[in-house]
Amino acid sequence: MSPANVRTNPAARPATPSIVLPPHQVILRPLVTEKGMHRSTRYNAYAFEINRQATKDDVRRAVEELFNVKVVKVHTQNRKGKPRRTKFRAGRTKDWKKAIVKLDSEHRIDFF
């Protein structure tokens, strides 16, 4: 196909410029929970809270650099904040992004 024959969708969103984040800004903290420990022992998958602007490629690169492991697969989730209240004030916790990183069978991450 020549470029003259390609139609563009005027309603399509413009591509957002990608921001390259350093690895220590991509991964905010590991999520150490009972479910996460079960997932790490059975499936060799680890959960992290990540920067909301980070992509799967950013997460893969950051985990490989910070922990010296080989990443097989990355799943991401956008999590909504929960409603909270203190005395008479109603509020919400912040929205956040979660990544579940599956490692190669030869690699492990030890948090403790």
In a domain, 14, yes or no: no
Lowest mean pLDDT among 12-16, 56-60, 66-70, 108-112: 12-16
The Cα–Cα gap between 47 and 99 comes to 6
Taking residue 17's Cβ as centre, other Cβ atoms within 10 Å add up to 5
- The pLDDT tens digits for 57-85 are 999 999 999 999 999 999 999 999 999 99
Is the pLDDT at 17 greater than 90? The verdict is: no
Is the pLDDT at 112 greater than 80? The verdict is: no
The whole-number pLDDT of residue 5 equals 59
What integer is the mean pLDDT of 76-100? 95
In a domain, 44, yes or no: yes
* The residue to which tokens 């196909």 are assigned: 1
Inter-residue contact 78 to 100 (CB < 8 Å): no
User: For 1-112, where are the alpha helices, taking DSSP H only?
Assistant: 23-26, 34-43, 56-67
In a domain, 96, yes or no: yes
In a domain, 11, yes or no: no
Inter-residue contact 62 to 26 (CB < 8 Å): yes
For residue 29, give its domain range. Answer: 23-103
CATH of residue 36's domain is 3.30.70.330
Is the pLDDT at 88 greater than 70? The verdict is: yes
Helix (H) / strand (E) containing 111: none
Taking residue 66's Cβ as centre, other Cβ atoms within 10 Å add up to 13
Helix (H) / strand (E) containing 98: strand 96-103
Is the pLDDT at 7 greater than 70? The verdict is: no
Q: What is the number of structural domains in the chain?
A: 1
pLDDT-derived band at 16 (thresholds 50, 70, 90) equals low
In a domain, 37, yes or no: yes
In a domain, 10, yes or no: no
